[in-house]
A = this chain, B = another copy of it.
Amino acid sequence: MVSQKEYKDIHQKCLSYFEKAGIVLTQNEVEDLEVTDFGLDRVQEMGLQLVVYVNTERCCAKELVLLPRQTCPEHTHPPVGDSEGKEETFRCRQGTVYLYVPGSKTDEPKALPPADKKQYYTVWNEIVLKPGEQYTISPNTPHWFQGGEEGAVVSEFSTKSTDENDVFTDPEITRTNENEA
């Protein structure tokens, strides 16, 4: 759980990240900014902040904020019903994002998950995204990402987002919490 004090502190940081990135939000969006710790109670290490712009049956756009060295844990978006699963494009707007996907393991990766969670991180092909750079993740493909030393602002363009269907590698992450990724 994210305490009220922590939420306020992170919320304020996000607003300054958005301001620095030139991203304007409505008052409602500012108030609805989501902070999730994936139920792990270690939000500064493993968490994500986001504003959902639109999420219809067909497409979705969000603005994400990663705090410095904050990790969004490894997960996949599996097929659901008639849909082949969520497809995501991450476009870095500010800072640096280290994104990991299936493929040959990168030697000396620039990001590491918390040491006690390492067993739940199985893909190690590193994609480094700087402002203006982007990467598209196919459905049903494991991925995780971490903000660089200065954090990051990332636009996500995707098909419909149904967080309750996301599958996390870490069994401690349960869908009873309000997870968003």
Contacts and interface: CB of A to CB of B under 8 A. Distances in A.
Interface of A: 21-26, 29, 53-54, 56, 58-61, 87, 89, 91, 93-94, 131-134, 136, 155, 157-159
Contact of A132 (B24, B56, B94, B134): B24
Q: Max chain B CB contacts within 10 Å: which of A26, A61, A94?
A: A61
A25 B130 CA distance: 10
Contacts of A58: 59, 87, 159
Copies of the chain in the assembly = 2
A26 B133 contact: yes
A26 B132 contact: yes
Nearest to A83: B58
B157 A61 contact: yes
Contacts of A61: 61, 89, 91, 155, 157
A25 B155 CA distance: 13
Contacts of A24: 93-94, 131-132
A53 B91 contact: yes
A132 B54 contact: no
